[in-house]
Structure 1
């Protein structure tokens, strides 16, 4: 059932010109909660109005199927704090934002650095830590995640 819901969500997102980042169905809750994170195909940011419009489109599509027969709550939003950056668009959109980078070291262990994201190019992810620029080889980066500025150490 979950995979069928995901297929329908991606069909609606394609028609709406949106990219789906995350789908989470918590059917162990009463009522169930369906969370969908979207972004625009273009460089524009997603606003509340975009989420409302997409929510209505998705709701209509779900109502015309028998995929979710029990009551559910639909939550549509955009990726934000504590989200992993994946696409080139993410790295452009969140330049200057605080991030945590997890990367592997040559000896197989991992390391973490927190700072302001400068950029990601073909070879490196650049991070500003207290005014110093760190170049972390892109091939070693495991994840880059947005963090709350107050969580920085």
Structure 2
């Protein structure tokens, strides 16, 4: 089974129990590091995620994954917050974090750049507008290869 297929299956299985707990599923990763596989589930909620939230969801997910057994090999389950520089995966993430600084990677160059750092100013339809050093730049969502918040200090 491919890594992408495992991620899709796990997302479908765990999303309901995470939503029922008042949290949001931010991302799922299934990666091999060294000789071990890791299933990482990233959560968020208004006000942030705490250790107790991670423990609660980890227990629920662990039980669900043991019951359904969608992953053939052994792995370590890690449940955590996505951190200050959380990924922006959905169009609604850009809307939610309007006004925040973000780092965006695009599939094709936009105005000569494939890596852009700017402040999210608006989301209209399927496009996101950023303030990049005082210049407005609009990027179609389908061109976003990767995006994450950028911590400001």
- Once residues 126 and 118 of structure 1 are traced to their aligned partners in structure 2, the CA distance between those partners, rounded to angstroms, is 6
- Per-residue deviation, 1:28: 5.0
TM-score (norm 2): 0.64
Q: 1:89 to 1:77 in 2, by over 3 A?
A: farther
Higher-Rg structure is 1
Whether the aligned pair in 2 keeps the contact of 1:9 and 1:58 (CA below 8 Å) is no
Q: 1:45 to 1:10 in 2, by over 3 A?
A: farther
- Once residues 29 and 92 of structure 2 are traced to their aligned partners in structure 1, the CA distance between those partners, rounded to angstroms, is 19
Q: 1:35 to 1:10 in 2, by over 3 A?
A: same
RMSD between superposed Cα atoms in Å: 3.6
- Per-residue deviation, 1:91: 0.9
State the aligned residue count.
142
Q: 1:57 to 1:115 in 2, by over 3 A?
A: same
Residue 148 of structure 2 is matched in structure 1 by: 146
Whether the aligned pair in 2 keeps the contact of 1:122 and 1:138 (CA below 8 Å) is no
- Per-residue deviation, 1:119: 2.0
- Once residues 147 and 7 of structure 2 are traced to their aligned partners in structure 1, the CA distance between those partners, rounded to angstroms, is 27
Give ranges in structure 2 of 5+ residues lacking alignment: none
Give the one of 125, 128, 135 matched to 2:131: 128
Structural mapping, 1:97-136, within 5 Å:
97-103=100-106, 104=108, 110-122=113-125, 124-130=127-133, 132-136=134-138
Give ranges in structure 1 of 5+ residues lacking alignment: none
Q: 1:6 to 1:128 in 2, by over 3 A?
A: closer
- Per-residue deviation, 1:55: 0.8
Q: Secondary structure at the match of 1:126?
A: strand
Residue 29 of structure 1 is matched in structure 2 by: 35
